[in-house]
Amino acid sequence: MGTSDIVAGVILLALSAAFFAATFSFPRLTVALSPTVFPRFVTVGLSLLSLALLLHSLRRRMGRRRTPPVGREQPAAGSPATGLSFALRFLLLAAAGLLYALLLEPAGYLLATPPFLAAAMLLFGERRWPRLALVSILGAAFLYAVFRLLFRVPLPRTPWY
């Protein structure tokens, strides 16, 4: 947990510094609330808090004090575990989502959704091929029928339909 807090602290510190620096390019207003005021309050606040997290985690890591890890208590439900296979599945699911978002408009809903569903099912451990094929094809077709045809949600069409 310590390393993740250090990484989070560094990322958030860099993010808030970049956002703070960007406020200097904002126009300044002398009447009412200048568009720089609130962003500076937020970015300064976030950087101070991130710095506190970073220092707390570093201090704990260096073992000067036996301080409890920050926010160790996890919610009881769905506490995620770690492990390489999980990390790989996680990355592949994120990549599948990204690819789906990229392909949705050029390929159309009916063409892009079944492979995405199939990939997600595989990543969730589905190994029965008939079920995989049935759910991914019929699932996409059902969603398309309900939303495109019944509720008239303009879903992206395939090149030929």
Return the residues of window 110-129 that contact another protein according to CB under 8 A.
113, 116-117, 120-121, 123-126
* Residue 28 C-beta: closest distance to another protein, Å: 9
Q: Is 58 one of the binding residues for another protein (CB under 8 A)?
A: no
DSSP per-residue string spanning 45-89: HHHHHHHHHHHHHHHHHTTSS-PPPTT-PPPSTT-----HHHHHH
The vertex-89 CA angle with 69 and 109, nearest 5°, equals 125
Kindly state whether residue 51 participates in binding another protein, applying the rule CB under 8 A: no
Q: Report d(CA 101, CA 110) in Å as an integer.
A: 13
Q: What track of x and - describes contact with another protein for positions 134 through 153 (by CB under 8 A)? A: -xx--xx--x---x---xxx
Measured between alpha carbons, how far is 41 from 23 in angstroms, rounded to an integer?
Answer: 11
In the complex with another protein, the residue whose CB is nearer, 62 or 73, is: 73
- Is 52 among the residues that bind another protein (CB under 8 A)? yes
Which SS3 state, helix, strand or coil, does residue 49 take? helix
* Structural contact between residues 36 and 28, judged by C-beta atoms closer than 8 angstroms: yes
89 binds another protein (CB under 8 A): yes
Q: Of the candidates 81, 129, 160, 161, which one interacts with another protein according to CB under 8 A?
A: 81
Per CB under 8 A, 63 contacts another protein: no
